[in-house]
Amino acid sequence: MTFELDPELKAAIASDQHETIVGHNVAMLQSEAFRRTFMTESFGGNAGSAVIDEVEVACVAVNGFANPDTGEIRAFEMPESADGESGNAAGRFVLKVAVIMGTTDFTTHNRIVELDASELPALAEVRLSRTITAYNELEASGPRGRVAVQP
């Protein structure tokens, strides 16, 4: 069975705007707003855990809001605190983020292990998926974006 993308969706993904939005979204994932929202969530609570490199690590769930038409991330907030600009629950998505602790260098870094964008149109979901791939590659490539933790 062959799956063929809708021609409009295919053209939108190939556009220059696509890369601009993915770049914006990666910057949002590296922002202080993401870190603040991330740090207010309970590690290992409802988000549970994930196995990364054969090690079970705690996860957090982070709520985000994106433009439903473009997939551009607007904010990271809890739904009840979202203002009109982030669209209240419109454009909502949820990220499951694994928190990986360094064993010798007291650093942490994150890996997004799951995206729930089921409430968003296909284009927005594709852009968020590509954003996560780019973010995870940056996190895995070195100290960029890592936060030192005091022993």
Nearest CA among 122, 111, 40, 121 for reference residue 81: 40
pLDDT of 62 strictly over 60: yes
CA distance 83 to 88: 6
Cβ neighbours for 113, distance < 8 A, ≥ 6 positions apart: 50, 52, 59, 96, 97, 98
pLDDT of 86 strictly over 70: no
Give SS3 for 65.
strand
pLDDT of the residue at 144 = 42
Average pLDDT score over residue span 68-88: 69
CA distance 68 to 122: 9
Segment 106-128, tens digit of pLDDT: 566 788 999 999 989 999 999 99
Average pLDDT score over residue span 20-45: 83
pTM: 0.75
